[in-house]
Chain A
Amino acid sequence: MGVALTRSAQWTAAGHGAKTLEVTPLNEAIVKEIMMFVESFIYKYPQEANYVFVEPLEWKTNLDPSAFGSGYAVSETTVKSEEVDKNGEPLLYLSVPQIKIRSFGQLSRMLYIAKSMKLKEAQACIEANRNPVAKILGLDYNIINGKNGNSFVSSVLDKMNKDDDPESEIKMKIALQLKQLDLHLLNHSLKHISLEIRLNSGTVKNDIELLKQFSGKGEQTVLESIEYTSDYEFSNGCRAPPWRQIQGEICYVLVKPHDAEILCVTCSKEGVFLNGGKTDDEGQINYERKGEIYKDLVTLLKEKSAIFSENMSKQEVKFSEQLQKDQPNKAPKEEVAVTHKTSITSRKSAQENRINLGRSQLTKRLEPSLNWRTSVSSKESRNTLRDTQVEKHGGKLEKSRSSLSSGRAQLIRKSVEKIEEIISDSSSESEEDEEQPDHRQEANADLPSEYWQIQKLVKYLKGGNQTATVIALCSMKDFNLAQETCQLAIRDVGGLEVLINLLETDEVKCKIGSLKILKEISHNPQIRRNIVDLGGLPVMVNILDSPHKSLKCLAAETIANVAKFKRARRVVRRHGGITKLVALLDCGKHSAEPAQSSLYETRDVEVARCGALALWSCSKSYANKESIRKAGGIPLLARLLKTSHEDMLIPVVGTLQECASEENYRAAIKAERIIENLVKNLNSENEQLQEHCAMAIYQCAEDEDTRDLVRLHGGLKPLASLLTNTDNKERLAAVTGAVWKCSISKENVTKFREYKAIETLVGLLTDQPEEVLVNVVGALGECCQEHENRIIIRKCGGIQPLVNLLVGINQALLVNVTKAVGACAVEPESMMIIDRLDGVRLLWSLLKNPHPDVKASAAWALCPCIQNAKDAGEMVRSFVGGLELVVNLLKSENKEVLASVCAVITNIAKDQENLAVITDHGVVPLLSKLANTNNDKLRRHLAETISRCCMWGRNRVAFGEHKAVAPLVRYLKSNDTNVHRATAQALYQLSEDADNCITMHENGAVKLLLDMVGSPDEELQEAAAGCISNIRRLALAIEKARYS
């Protein structure tokens, strides 16, 4: 009880007279607990209840002597209990207004007598007896003033050993009871304390450090950046200048969320708020408060940035993991501090408790107090175990003090990013698809006032006629519905059900009001799911048929918000929503629009815009794309594309861009002459529109005709000029993507060269996000197919950054980089640079990459490298284990990898020494095994390799032995001349061996070869003829042998 009273109870500031307890819920709770303890004492521990206190508890009472009944000797101003101690002194003595009580039994009885006044009495008693334990048990037991709190038990034990009379045993029992009560009270008060937290420099610093780890570029982070305004930190942990510290301000932070301007935030002891911002000239901060005070940084940011709160909820799990790791070290540390401290000022230590809890504020929903409870209850079991426990904590402390935990968190983040990347590469559907855990607000978390107001409004929604409903809806709309607290409040008080129910009524006004709210709150991912779960989508889809245009608009807009995840999109489709939405696009048919005769009318264009918005959301699912097409959406979209309103164009182009991932859409887009308008809108002022147009072109330009159309409509120039604007990374990614796909056509590359786009692209090779890099490198790879461009790239210094990118991990990027490097290597001068930069080794090591595309691409890139490198044979041999690695790749399953590796081997085998080595590695049987293939590309490269490999030792014979000859003959029946040429050359080489000649003859090679001799291809002619001559010579020799 002592510790709890001194540390947790909130005393009024030290005055002259006696201190009194402040009137706070916490104090009230403590007093009540003590009261209950005393009241029940007499029943629970009847023996101990008779124990006589060392000193009486004495205080001023308000009790009237007349209240005392039997068992007491009552006079007008005094009351004496009949119960007396050994010396005949009464255990309760009241002489108005002073009361003295000397046993628990009497205390209990007194409280019983006091009835309704007992709370007051208990409080008065506690106030007057600041150290009740000492009075009850004597100073020896006064653990609070003892220098070492730890030694409590031992001191008690000592006592017991010294004099083991029965009284000390009772004392001991009481002491233990009081101890228990004390712990109970501490525990109890913690629950209260945890509800009201103030900030301090440590808390703030912690929050900021954590947020820093989770901020940066890219979509998965919670913030773009977070920075202190001042680097200087005072010894007390504050960064605010001293004259502001007086105001309780700790530091100032510049925060850049993804979706808002830079926020200048003041962190003070009272809480966190927006200040007037940094003035431009001198970097001074305008300290004035500009917004509400939030209890911590995270809460403030959640309000200010939607993306922050969205990503935060994703990160929260990770956050908690880290904090959980942090907690155990802090909690015990704090505990040690608490117990060892000699409690000079009780107030201070109480504050410290709060501080610790403040730290865990970041994860306020994630049971920060749990750790505390355990740490406190460990006190309960304080005994000999205690020392070991401290040791254990200490050990943990040291270990995790290191940056281990933060490093781990970063690691997790990285890997998550990687996974998400892969997902988003594969399909646009994954966006936001992962179902997030639904965290409801914890019941005991303090609820904002909005919660109660919203609850009241929902009550009126439920129980009101349409007039009251409309008023309640309009009032609800005035809340900040973009704020998560309000969104969740509406849900948690059952508002979503009512709002959705209203949509099913006939009251147009109620429907409009309800949709206006749903539209706003459905920006929250959790609310979206709840709406779908409550069956809101089918109702909204039905409203799309309404005769009232403004209703249609609102319904479509809400659907646009809700259909951001897969399940919702499926529901929309299943209920025929796509067809209805497509129908909304059909505006301008009734050209004579009536003037807005009714409140419920709006312009047709607006309806179409909302329809397009909803379709945009829906078009992220494959099946929906198909439905849109079947519903005849493409011509309508094409028509809307001719308008000039940006509001309209963005969703329209957005939808087209999503859909263009499908083959038949691209055909339709070409047919509807959409490209022309896309190109036109590239010149728009709106960055988002430009981005989506570029994205659509990127998707469509897979098709050759489309690439030509882009050029013919003059789209290449705006694309090239947009490349120079690198601030908006999303747009840059889209634009570079479009440039990449367009540059697949030679004519387009020529244009790009004219517009100096290649130089710009080289400039984009550094300091760009991966999405941009993939496209830039892809574009350069296409440009490199031409000699002139290769020179430009080399002259601009593009080779170095390209080679540097070979060490990346992004699969798409590696495929493109290897291709570009390979294309550059065609130029001997460039090859020298690549060689100097050790690019060949990097390429070679990519042959070990797990992705077959990367392997194949790297192998293709190696071919020109080996061709053009000086002293290539020596270079290849210098890669330890390199040749074995290449030969083993012939075991791959992937045809492209096989073809590319064959090509590499062909080049390696040009060097006799290397050929010998790969022969030793068993290249012949591996190649022979591949011979039975139908893939023309592989056939060609395989045949070339075989003809190369025949140059060594008895490889010719070996190929025959491994039955490679007969399949090769069949290659001659292929339709590809390249295959014919390579095969004829291989057969020519093989025919140097007599057995092979027989096999060829048996498989009918002669007739096929005779046809080849007539080919216009000279090399083929020669090889075929050579082969025939070898076969013929063998036949002649046999004949000769037979007759001689």
Chain B
Amino acid sequence: MNRKKLQKLTDSLNKNCKHFSKFEVKCLINLFYNLVGEVMERQGVVIGLDRNAFRNILHMTFGMTDDMIMDRVFRGFDKDNDGCISVTEWVYGLSVFLRGTLEEKMKYCFEVFDLNGDSFISKEEMFHMLKNSLLKQPSEEDPDEGIKDLVEITLKKMDHDHDGKLSFADYEQAVREETLLLEAFGPCLPDPKSQKEFEAQVFKDPNEFSEV
């Protein structure tokens, strides 16, 4: 990619993305092309990170482990649903991921948790996301009982309109009351420590990074 094009891209992204400075946008674009690497060679093909590459980044850099959540995070980034993350999606996604306001993060997290995309988090979805969250006790008759109970507890706490599922309004109200509930069903944002490391590494010296 030539310089001019890169410059243009940086400018346009920077205009629409208020959380990053121009320098930071540039760093992120650089990082993106570094990560995509070989794919860049071929012309005419949409270039971007595919699901596996992205999940790899989430796992290695941000310490995420839950496959399902990582999948959902990928979907959250992949706005146009084409199965790979373009440079624009990359920068926009990271903008919320790293620097998003509470509102943006809530919207993002809700989308991650809403597995089937019907704008509600149903009991089944909750169960699905929480099913590995408790230590299985062999003594119990029904190993899922604890999870079911946990789902009920969560509903009691967050389902303000008592319709048995979480709308975005329910979720938003609950999070505003208690911010800890932002990632109620699994970590889908970077933890502060790895975020710090990531930013320190990426935004430090672009030249050094490109040599890697």
Residues of A in contact with B (beta carbons under 8 Å apart): 456-457, 459-460, 462-468, 470-475, 477-478, 506, 508-509, 512-513, 547-548, 597-600
Contacts and interface: CB of A to CB of B under 8 A. Distances in A.
B153 A471 contact: yes
Contact of B133 (A464, A477, A506): A464
* Interface SS majority for chain A: helix
Given A468-B130, A474-B180, A475-B153, A599 B135 contact: no
B192 A508 contact: yes
Contacts of A467: 129-130, 133, 183-187
Interface in B143-162: 146, 149-150, 153-154, 156-157
Contact of B157 (A475, A506, A512): A475
A460 B150 contact: yes
Given A508-B191, A513-B180, A600-B192, A460 B102 contact: no
Given A472-B150, A475-B153, A598-B192, 14 more contacts: A457-B153, A463-B146, A464-B134, A464-B135, A465-B134, A467-B133, A467-B186, A468-B150, A471-B150, A473-B180, A509-B183, A548-B192, A597-B99, A599-B102
Residue from A466, A474, A547 with most neighbouring chain B CB atoms (10 Å) = A474
Sorted nearest first, the 4 A-B pairs with minimum C-beta distance are A463-B135, A468-B133, A465-B133, A467-B133
Nearest to B99: A597
Given A477-B178, A597-B99, A599-B102, A470 B135 contact: no
A254 to B, nearest CB: 35
Contacts, number: 72
Contact of B181 (A470, A506, A547): A470
Nearest to A513: B180
Contacts of B150: 460, 464, 468, 471-472
Contact of A470 (B149, B156, B184, B191): B184
B210 interface: no
Contact of A463 (B102, B137, B179, B181): B137
Contacts of A598: 192
A968 to B, nearest CB: 82
A598 B194 CA distance: 13
A456 B149 contact: yes
B66 to A, nearest CB: 9
16 contacts: A456-B149, A457-B153, A460-B146, A465-B134, A467-B130, A467-B133, A468-B134, A471-B153, A471-B181, A472-B150, A472-B153, A474-B178, A475-B156, A508-B192, A512-B180, A547-B192
A460 B134 contact: yes
A548 B137 CA distance: 35
A478 B183 CA distance: 18
A820 to B, nearest CB: 58
A819 to B, nearest CB: 59
B99 A474 contact: no
A466 B182 contact: no
B101 to A, nearest CB: 9
Given A477-B178, A513-B180, A598-B192, A471 B146 contact: no
B132 interface: yes
Contacts of A468: 130, 133-134, 150
A509 B180 contact: yes
A467 B99 CA distance: 22
Nearest to A548: B192
A65 B130 CA distance: 58
A474 B102 contact: no
A180 B99 CA distance: 79
A475 B152 CA distance: 11
Interface in B84-135: 99, 102, 129-130, 132-135
B146 A599 contact: no
A464 to B, nearest CB: 5
A460 B187 CA distance: 18
Contacts of A506: 193
Contacts of B187: 466-467
Contacts of B191: 508
Contacts of A600: 192
B210 to A, nearest CB: 27
A555 B191 CA distance: 20
Interface in B174-209: 178-187, 191-193
Contacts of B179: 599
A474 B157 contact: yes
Contacts of B99: 597
A471 to B, nearest CB: 5
Nearest to A459: B146
Contacts of A599: 102, 179, 182
B130 to A, nearest CB: 7
Contacts of B183: 467, 470, 509
Contacts of A472: 150, 153
A475 B129 CA distance: 18
A465 B146 CA distance: 13
B192 A471 contact: no
B67 to A, nearest CB: 14
Nearest to A456: B149
Nearest to B133: A468
A454 to B, nearest CB: 12
A599 B105 CA distance: 10
A998 to B, nearest CB: 95
A670 B193 CA distance: 45
A718 to B, nearest CB: 41
Contacts of B182: 599
A508 B146 CA distance: 24
Contacts of B154: 471, 475
A670 to B, nearest CB: 44
Nearest to A512: B180
Residue from B102, B137, B187, B193 with most neighbouring chain A CB atoms (10 Å) = B187
A547 B149 CA distance: 35
Nearest to B178: A474
B132 A465 contact: yes
A456 to B, nearest CB: 7
Contacts of A459: 146
A513 B184 CA distance: 13
A465 B147 CA distance: 12
A698 B49 CA distance: 71
Nearest to B126: A471
Contacts of A460: 134, 146, 149-150, 153
Contacts of B134: 460, 463-465, 468
Contacts of B178: 474, 477
Contacts of B133: 464-465, 467-468
A467 B182 CA distance: 11
B62 to A, nearest CB: 15
A516 to B, nearest CB: 8
Nearest to B185: A467
A478 B135 contact: no
A462 B130 CA distance: 16
Residue from B102, B129, B153, B179 with most neighbouring chain A CB atoms (10 Å) = B153
A700 to B, nearest CB: 42
Nearest to A475: B153
Nearest to A477: B178
A369 B153 CA distance: 39
Nearest to B195: A598
B174 to A, nearest CB: 8
A695 B132 CA distance: 57
A465 B150 CA distance: 12
B150 to A, nearest CB: 6
Contacts of A465: 132-134
A611 B132 CA distance: 39
B130 A470 contact: no
Contacts of B192: 508, 547-548, 598, 600
A463 B145 CA distance: 13
B100 to A, nearest CB: 10
A471 B157 contact: yes
A509 B180 CA distance: 6
Contacts of B180: 470, 473-474, 509, 512-513
A131 B180 CA distance: 66
